[in-house]
């Protein structure tokens, strides 16, 4: 049986066409409602109006999108480096994990909105302060999943490695790391979304005091000016950034696990 056998589920075309169809239907409904109820554009702009504003402010919004994405991606990278490092420390000994895990949880459950003002006061560089806030939000899933993954090694394989007198290094690279990979990637997918959320929340808190103008800052400014179409346009880009992050991590996961892991192989 080939692992690439196509299942009886939705075809590739349907998997793209169906959500796009839903989007078009909703947009049409939205547009129709705006026309029918004669909502003014400063309360609810029609999708066409939003697209128009998006086009007019393309340069400014594009820069804002780039800024926000930069913060989110830097935070995600920091969370991956820091998170896997912490996970490796945790699996070295149970007592280290017992001592430190509560603090990882503490960091996770404290809302970033409440930490952000402090970080923004302490850290001079605005981008750095935003990245720190977003990293705090994105860190936990990487730590928790990678720790679980590094521990979830097939006991039979572990016995085999011991039998062949594998070194600690071989055990880590040839057994623990590949075993942990699916868990890590699941964590990465969650963290990518959280990094974006963290970046946006931190920007909101930094508010007009921040000098880096990300998408959240644009939404905030447009809100002050009651420029609802511009708010919608910026919101649309935030959503788009989230989808792009999700798609990128999903592709990475499929690329790394496609050949062997149950989560990425279609059922025969």
Which residues contact other proteins by CB under 8 A? Answer: 1-3, 154, 156-157, 159-166, 170, 174-175, 178, 181, 259-261, 265
Torsion, CA 76, CA 79, CA 85, CA 88, rounded to 10: -90
Query: Measured from the CB of residue 265, what is the shortest distance to other proteins in angstroms?
Result: 7
Task: Please give the Cα distance from 238 to 221 (Å, whole number).
Answer: 15
CB closer to other proteins, 5 vs 35: 5
Query: Measured from the CB of residue 174, what is the shortest distance to other proteins in angstroms?
Result: 7
Task: Please give the Cα distance from 214 to 250 (Å, whole number).
Answer: 25
Query: Measured from the CB of residue 164, what is the shortest distance to other proteins in angstroms?
Result: 4
Task: Please give the Cα distance from 193 to 247 (Å, whole number).
Answer: 11
Query: Measured from the CB of residue 175, what is the shortest distance to other proteins in angstroms?
Result: 8
CB closer to other proteins, 2 vs 225: 2
CB closer to other proteins, 111 vs 156: 156
Q: Which ranges constitute the DSSP H helices of the chain? A: 12-37, 47-56, 58-92, 94-109, 112-122, 126-151, 155-163, 168-170, 177-206, 215-224, 228-257
Task: Please give the Cα distance from 13 to 243 (Å, whole number).
Answer: 19
Query: Measured from the CB of residue 49, what is the shortest distance to other proteins in angstroms?
Result: 51
CB closer to other proteins, 182 vs 214: 182
CB closer to other proteins, 40 vs 156: 156
């Amino acid at each position: 049986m080939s692992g690439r056998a196509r299942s009886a589920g939705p075809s590739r075309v349907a998997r793209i066409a169906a959500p796009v169809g839903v989007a078009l239907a909703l947009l049409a409904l939205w547009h129709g409602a705006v026309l029918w109820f004669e909502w003014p554009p400063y309360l609810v702009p029609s999708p066409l109006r939003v697209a128009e504003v998006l086009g007019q402010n393309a340069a400014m919004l594009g820069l804002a999108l780039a800024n926000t994405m930069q913060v989110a991606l830097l935070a995600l990278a920091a969370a991956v480096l820091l998170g896997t490092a912490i996970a490796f420390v945790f699996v070295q000994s149970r007592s280290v994990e017992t001592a430190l895990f509560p603090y990882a949880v503490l960091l996770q459950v404290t809302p970033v909105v409440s930490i952000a003002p402090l970080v923004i006061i302490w850290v001079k560089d605005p981008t750095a302060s935003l990245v720190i806030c977003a990293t705090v939000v994105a860190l936990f899933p990487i730590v928790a999943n990678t720790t679980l993954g590094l521990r979830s090694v097939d006991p039979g394989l572990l016995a085999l490695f011991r039998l062949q007198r594998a070194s600690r290094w071989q055990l880590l690279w040839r057994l623990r790391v590949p075993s942990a990979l699916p868990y890590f990637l699941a964590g990465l997918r969650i963290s990518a979304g959280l990094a974006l959320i963290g970046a946006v929340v931190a920007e909101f808190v930094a508010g007009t005091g921040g000098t880096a103008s990300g998408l959240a800052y644009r939404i905030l400014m447009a809100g002050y000016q009651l420029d609802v179409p511009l708010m919608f346009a910026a919101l649309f880009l935030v959503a788009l950034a989230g989808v792009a992050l999700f798609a990128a991590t999903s592709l990475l996961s499929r690329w790394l696990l496609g050949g062997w892991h149950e989560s990425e192989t279609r059922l025969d």
